A and B are shown apart, each in its own frame.
Chain A
Amino acid sequence: MEFITELFQYMTRNWDLLLDLAIEHLIMVLIGVGMALVVGVTLGIICARFKKVAGVILSIANIIQIIPSLALLAILMVYFGLGFYTVVVGLFLYSLMPIIRNTYVGLKEVDKSISEAGRGLGMTSMQLLSKVQLPLALPFLMAGLRVAAVIAVGVAALAPMIGGDGLGREIFAGINTMNDIRIYAGAIPAALLAIFADVILGFFEKYTKRKTSPAT
């Protein structure tokens, strides 16, 4: 009980610092996942269009995913040096796989007869993609984005190891000074951020799913 009051006191005393760290944390995640979204969706579309490339792209993304996050960040540090952007690149790479895979699966799942109807009515391939196939793949894509975002919030906590900031700074400060209150002061907001991302994106996922429910 005493511990909780102390933690609460610490957090209220330092709320401006914690808020700054949380915002920074969020920005890293947003940039990393945002980039992954653009690149991942593009690669997902390429996978769905060209079967031969699909294997290559998906295996590479899979390999990246398998590397432990700390190791990946360490490797990136060798090439990009310490700092904010190294973290962002790490988050970007880590978020790619769920987004590529889900875009690919979502596009594959689009009913062939619906695509044929679009083509038969005179849509160009771009129109078919933007007006029919992507909107129908959206629930899958959103699920991928959700997974990517939750993972990224977790991985971003490692940022201070390679010179980044964010809530990880508070956690590592706590570890270094053997101060468990500071560890919690960093970890709890980080966990809340992850839950927050999960709930918000989960809501959008459900919303898109309702919109695209099949026609039978």
Chain B
Amino acid sequence: MIQLKAVEKRYDDGFVALKDINLELHSGHINVLIGPSGCGKTTTMKMLNRLINPTSGEIYIKDKEISTMNPVELRRQIGYVIQHIGLFPHMTIAQNVSVVPKLLKWEKGKTKERVDELLEMVGLDPSIYRDRYPSELSGGQQQRIGVIRALAAEPDIILMDEPFSALDPISREQLQNELVDLQKKVKKTIVFVTHDMDEALKIADRIIIMQEGTIVQNDTPEEVLRRPKNDFVRDFIGTNRLHKSDELPPLQELLNEKMVTADMNMGFARAVSVMRRQKVDSLLVVNEEKRLEGYVSIFDVIDNYEEEAMSLADILKRVEHVLTRDQTVEEGLTLMTEHQLSYVPVIGENETLLGVITRGTIVVDERYVHTNS
């Protein structure tokens, strides 16, 4: 639907912002333009609604060369969400959302219906929010309005210029999720500019990585992660995802101390109940001095369930792979990978159990995503 052919942007002072951009943006997908500041990603996006005009080259939207179109009419067909939210502070929420329908001279009734429908779509009760002013809303709510304002006149294409970068991390996360959900319903062609690789990986169907006015790689997120085209891409993924990878924190930092343990003399019924409540499939068994004696799995317990006189001490198995406090995270990872373990206990002096490290805790610590794979 959107095609850029040999697009170039050269400013009067000789600075070349874009060099020979050839790009096809996928319809009905979230296309993320990403790169460090000054790479030309915003310029590329703003050319699509002619806020910036190319020096040379052609841009086609639905097979029409846009330089032949009236920029004002073009913009009314394209949704636009800007970085600083940009709601009109003197207009109510309903008036903000209905700006483009009004410009397109929609009927009043139709516009009002559309506003309410959109407010409901982002979980804001129209009867409460319709007549409020933007200043009465939180940052996250304001940007939700920014997004539905862009959707109001049902454009096929929506441009989003770092829309969530000004929000706090929690709102940002929420809005990213909502955008992904929303997109499943509306299936628009979205061009999303960001410098945040985490954001791109989360929402993108296609990631277009730019550097100094050129496109370095244009792929699915999966491909970008698996086959970064060059060192720049690798670095770019890396700086965002592995920025402290050369400085591994000690094992201690990733230690999960809230593992589920059980006493040697615990009966089987209690053991099953503990596992069920804690949602685990095995228990680490310790003695009174917290010394690690072994582990039991749910299967062992259930197999012996009828033996009411027995306790965990009778069926426990020795833990074959343990880590000591002064070993490294890499050793733990190697151990887990080699022996297909989901966790490794970490022991201190006299074999006292200090905690466990799990694949979960390591993967959650995003610094290790790539060392892990």
Is B330 interfacial (CB 8 A cutoff)? no
Of A28-36, A37-45, A122-130, A195-203, the one with at least 4 CB within 8 A of chain B = A122-130
Q: Which of B51, B72, B149 is within 8 Å of A116, CB to CB? A: B51
Closest 6 CB pairs of A and B: A117-B86, A122-B76, A122-B75, A113-B84, A120-B80, A215-B134
A14 to B83, CA, bound (A): 65
Is B88 interfacial (CB 8 A cutoff)? yes
Of A18-26, A97-105, A148-156, A206-214, the one with at least 4 CB within 8 A of chain B = A206-214
Check B51 against A122 for contact (C-beta < 8 Å): no
The total number of A-B Cβ pairs within 8 Å is 73
A124 to B49, CA, bound (A): 14
Q: In terms of DSSP, what is the predominant structure of the interface of chain A?
A: helix
- For A213, what are the chain B residues with a Cβ–Cβ distance below 8 Å? 89, 133, 135
Is B99 interfacial (CB 8 A cutoff)? yes
**Known pairs A117-B86, A120-B49, A121-B99 / 20 extra A-B pairs, C-beta < 8 Å:** A111-B86, A113-B86, A114-B88, A117-B82, A117-B87, A119-B51, A121-B75, A121-B76, A121-B100, A121-B103, A121-B149, A121-B150, A122-B72, A123-B99, A124-B72, A132-B88, A135-B90, A136-B89, A215-B85, A215-B87
Least CB separation from B159: chain A residue: A120
A114 to B133, CA, bound (A): 15
Binding site for B on A (CB under 8 A): 111, 113-114, 116-124, 127, 131-132, 135-136, 211-216
Is B294 interfacial (CB 8 A cutoff)? no
Binding site for A on B (CB under 8 A): 49, 51, 72-77, 80, 82-90, 99-100, 103, 133-135, 139, 142, 149-150, 159
Check B86 against A212 for contact (C-beta < 8 Å): no
Q: A211-B90, A215-B89 are known contacts. Are A117 and B80 too (CB-CB below 8 A)?
A: yes
Q: Which of A120, A135, A212, A214 is within 8 Å of B75, CB to CB? A: A120
A74 to B67, CA, bound (A): 58
- For A211, what are the chain B residues with a Cβ–Cβ distance below 8 Å? 90
Check A123 against B103 for contact (C-beta < 8 Å): yes
A115 to B139, CA, bound (A): 19
Q: A119-B51, A120-B49, A122-B100 are known contacts. Are A214 and B89 too (CB-CB below 8 A)?
A: yes
- For B74, what are the chain A residues with a Cβ–Cβ distance below 8 Å? 122
Complex A-B: 5 CB contacts under 8 Å: A117-B88, A118-B88, A121-B75, A121-B150, A213-B89
- For A117, what are the chain B residues with a Cβ–Cβ distance below 8 Å? 80, 82, 86-88
Q: What is the CB-to-nearest-CB distance from B23 to chain A, in angstroms, rounded to a whole number?
A: 20
A116 to B150, CA, bound (A): 13
- For B82, what are the chain A residues with a Cβ–Cβ distance below 8 Å? 113, 116-117, 120
A124 to B100, CA, bound (A): 12
